[in-house]
Amino acid sequence: MAKIINGKEMAAQIRAEAALEAAQFARRYGRAPGLAVIIVGSDPASQIYVRNKHKACAACGISSQVIELPGDTGEKELLARVAALNEDAQTDGILVQLPLPEGIDKRKVISAVAPAKDVDVFHSLNVGMLTSGDYTLAPCTPSGVLEMLRRTGIVMEGRKCVMVGRSNLVGKPLALLMLEQNCTLTVCHSKTVDLKKECRQADILISAVGKPRLITGDMVKKGAVVIDIGINRLEDGSLCGDVDFEAAKKKASYITPVPGGVGPMTVAMLMKNTVRAAFAAMEKKEK
């Protein structure tokens, strides 16, 4: 029976560390690290995410600015808001909450964020630095998964990792991070032939697809570590991941639940990234 990796407890530890680092920053520079979040429209899920980020900032001693714009905001106005935050010396991190309304070019907005303030790590320059291994910040969810594995004491070097999902936000950057840990990596996706066969070879099996219970118990190798990044809402309103949790936990050595697994780590790593970006910017000015 698998040991459950408690993402809530681990995220609380990371937020506590971020709070100590934020306090150190404040003592050194006379202000708190600053995060600005822009949200356009009233998407309910986005509203919840933004509130959670704001609460986390307050708990960590990070100054949080939430800029709420109406759903009919034009691309030009949004880009002007981003440009103003790029120039704001009190703002160390900028996050534009996705999705954006139709008519706004997501790539143009992401590219407008100053790379040094891109705490989501979506900017093409930062993605390139991640690819080369020469980076300061890593995307929040992928780096959260890596922290879960490290803090649980799971050996990654030399292990076979199967990544199910190749999105630009999670799958691809996490694959890069696992390669950096010297895993032997296979990336699976919708065109993969015999997904079950690939998954059953994994010492570390990670799914980030967004399909309820895609990973069944017979796809899990005995003793594997199973990381479920997917979050899906069922017809009855309950949440489940990409993994059939009850079946998989009988074979895995470690497994993350949904909810309460990877999810809390994403916001915790955002706090870490904001503080890191703040220190990096001030240290650059001091040189």
Tell me if 123 is assigned to some domain.
Answer: no
Based on the fold, state whether residues 147 and 249 are members of the same structural domain: yes
Mean pLDDT calculated for residue range 135-157? 97
Cβ(247)–Cβ(217) under 8 Å? yes
Q: Tell me the two tokens of residue 213.
A: 């219970």
Query: Could you give the residue numbers annotated as active site?
Result: 53, 97, 120
pLDDT surpasses 90 at 257? yes
pLDDT value at residue 45: 85
Count of domains observed in the chain: 2
pLDDT digits (tens, 9 = 90+) for 160-182: 999 999 999 999 999 999 999 99
- If one compares 202 and 46, the residue with the highest pLDDT of the two is 202
pTM (2 d.p.): 0.95
**CA–CA dist 166, 31 (Å, integer):** 39
Based on the fold, state whether residues 149 and 222 are members of the same structural domain: yes
Tell me if 244 is assigned to some domain.
Answer: yes
pLDDT digits (tens, 9 = 90+) for 42-90: 888 889 999 999 999 999 999 999 999 999 999 999 999 999 999 999 9
Mean pLDDT calculated for residue range 16-37? 98
For the chain, what is the mean pLDDT?
96
**CA–CA dist 248, 225 (Å, integer):** 10
Mean pLDDT calculated for residue range 225-238? 93
Based on the fold, state whether residues 183 and 252 are members of the same structural domain: yes
pLDDT value at residue 271: 98
pLDDT value at residue 287: 78
Based on the fold, state whether residues 37 and 145 are members of the same structural domain: no
**DSSP structure string for 230-267:** --EE-TTS-EE-SB-HHHHTTT-SEE--SSSSSHHHHH
Based on the fold, state whether residues 257 and 161 are members of the same structural domain: yes
10 Å CB burial of residue 192 (0-12, 13-18, 19+) is middle
Based on the fold, state whether residues 55 and 159 are members of the same structural domain: no
Q: Which CATH number does the domain housing residue 78 bear?
A: 3.40.50.10860
10 Å CB burial of residue 182 (0-12, 13-18, 19+) is exposed
pLDDT surpasses 90 at 237? no
pLDDT digits (tens, 9 = 90+) for 100-138: 999 999 999 999 999 999 999 999 999 999 999 999 999
Domain boundary (114, 131, 151) is at 114
Percent of the chain with pLDDT over 90: 94
Domain extent, residue 233, equals 140-263
